[in-house]
Structure 1
């Protein structure tokens, strides 16, 4: 019986690995009222957006080669201070000379000094503008809140408005009320990895509540995103689930 159980685990792992190997991380292009929004899936929780001559980096992390062929950032948004989101090593490898950083206070407290002059602190509930891009900071936290790895107010999720499209990036969170109550989201990036955020069941349940037009599962190491897609498809076929390779070799 133990041998059968072990074989079933191995086969399940191989199935997930094979499915992920068939995905790509090529950029997606989405029309907005002011030209294309180009979405680059980079690694884990790292994303790049290009729109209207502006380039936005979200939580840049990973080796420099991942960014070699990408435009230099105009905006860098960081969700919280954990090392796979705030990476001084990755920041040092980028051309950040003209970049403006928007971060929660907890990130500003740990930012390398060389970037502090370019950094603006933005807290949950605040909204700022940069060259036609609206940046709204929203909560991200674990449930229950007491003793959580990610406490309420410590980090930010973000809603970016670009050319009439509202893009939600969850940061490290669970299916919190503030996520479930979002309205009018065109594109969403929602995390799912235990034990740090949530599993695919909680993530899909939250997505079905706020009903984005397009959902990308990201920051999902170890989770079965094919099954996540099935859960969302079963609950609401009008939500388009896009699966990308967030863990390129």
Structure 2
């Protein structure tokens, strides 16, 4: 790849795109190769079991959820099935055994997907937040397109990556601030988060990353696939623009060591602060316990989350640390219940 050439996206300079690479305004760029080596060779990794079964059976979801219902079922890591307003929405779908460019190496699943792909209801929409391998899995997208032909909503540049393997995919490409109406009364908004993107060593930050807001009659859902806390700036901005949320899907794992990870992966304490900052009534917690990506132990995020919730005076039931196969029927907000 020639220096200064973006293979995925060509567009005008903006407050988060310099003409070649995307960036976090006022934020922190990902650390370089030297820091990566320091982390990898520095020790401190807690061993994970080869298998860590979920206490929940693999779910067999209903075809859809209508009315004021809002249901979230955990598949694993950042893959969630959101059922609202008669629509079935998958986030960052990964059914592959490894979150890796290779089938023989890289982080592998420690538990089975919480839904068998053959047991999925008809999938209407797929949200792909960014192109890291634990979030953008081309093999899964190919299978979903063949069986369900969903609309894929993804930030700038990721469409190029997806189309190379799934040329027939229906893709809505969004920049921060864009909106896509996917059904009467249901709109998806793309919003900033503090992260980065890469598929290989030479394409860092050449495709955009984003969070999503799902606006539905049953309530608003804030989905964050990956983010650093970034002083809560993006959380407060989401609340200022969209109001409080019935549900936020927030990552709270893969955060150690902090010196390396703080700008890209929030920890459980920060996830709780994010819950408060965005005004979420309930949270489906994800990005933990499936793929070993960082130093902390497999159950450490849960213990740290419980401590953070207790310290903040928030009922633990309001922030569910989702495990594969777990189903969360999200309670209506006070205004809806009335």
Instruction: Give the TM-score normalised by structure 2.
Output: 0.58
CA distance in 2, matches of 1:211, 1:189: 12
CA distance in 2, matches of 1:152, 1:137: 17
Deviations, residues 10-43 of structure 1 (Å, cap 9, x unaligned): 8xx79xx99x8556775899xx992422211111
Deviations, residues 126-173 of structure 1 (Å, cap 9, x unaligned): 112111311011112249xxxxx9869821111102224111111111
CA contact (8 A) 1:23 1:243 kept: no
Which is worse superposed, 40-49 or 108-117? 108-117
Which consecutive residues of structure 2, in runs of 5 or more, have no partner in the other structure?
Answer: 1-45, 97-112, 197-202, 256-260, 290-297, 327-338
Question: Which secondary structure does the structure 2 equivalent of 1:186 belong to?
Answer: strand
**Considering only aligned residues, what root-mean-square deviation do their CA atoms show, in Å?**
3.4
CA contact (8 A) 1:27 1:39 kept: no
Tell me what 2:94 maps to: 61
Does residue 1:74 correspond to 2:124, yes or no? yes
Structure with the greater alpha carbon radius of gyration: 2
Distance 1:187 1:172, change over 3 A: same
Tell me what 1:241 maps to: 319
Deviations, residues 171-219 of structure 1 (Å, cap 9, x unaligned): 1111131123432111111113223512222222222322310012201
Deviations, residues 55-102 of structure 1 (Å, cap 9, x unaligned): 111111014873221112111110011111111111222245531111
> Which residues in structure 2 correspond to 1:96-245 (within 5 Å)?
96-113=147-164, 114-115=166-167, 118-131=170-183, 132-142=185-195, 154-176=208-230, 177-183=233-239, 184-192=244-252, 193-194=254-255, 195=261, 196-221=264-289, 222=298, 223-237=300-314, 240-245=318-323
Greater relative contact order (CA < 8 Å, ≥ 6 in sequence): 2
CA distance in 2, matches of 1:166, 1:88: 29
